C-alpha cells in the first residue's frame, strides 16, 4: 500500500511545536518520509489533523 505525502507546498515551521504549518510534519518526518514503511507513514498521517488543529488553536 502506497501512502502519499501530505505535503501541500507550504513549508513554514511553528517554532513552538516544530511542526510544518502546511502539512503538520516535523523536519525529521519530512526528511525520512520516502524511507519509511507504509505503517509508519500511516501513523504519522493519523496525527496530522490533531497537530494542525492544535497549532491553529495556540496562535
pTM: 0.88
> What pLDDT shows up at residue 34?
95
> What pLDDT shows up at residue 56?
77
> What pLDDT shows up at residue 58?
75
Question: What is the block-wise mean pLDDT of the chain (59 residues), using blocks of 10 residues?
Answer: 90 94 97 96 96 83
Give the N- to C-terminal CA distance of the chain in Å, as an integer. 36
CA-to-CA dists, residue 1 to 4, 37, 38, 41, 50, angstroms:
10, 10, 7, 11, 23
> What pLDDT shows up at residue 57?
78
Count of other CB atoms within 10 angstroms of residue 52? 19
Query: By C-alpha distance, which of 31, 29, 25, 28 is closest to 50?
Result: 25
> What pLDDT shows up at residue 10?
94
Residue position matching grid coordinates 501541500: 8
Amino acid at each position: 500500500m502506497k501512502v502519499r505525502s501530505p505535503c501541500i507546498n507550504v513549508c513554514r515551521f511553528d517554532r513552538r511545536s516544530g511542526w510544518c504549518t502546511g502539512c503538520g510534519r516535523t523536519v525529521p518526518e519530512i526528511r525520512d518520509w520516502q524511507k519509511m514503511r507504509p505503517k509508519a507513514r500511516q501513523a504519522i498521517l493519523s496525527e496530522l489533523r490533531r497537530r494542525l488543529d492544535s497549532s491553529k488553536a495556540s496562535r
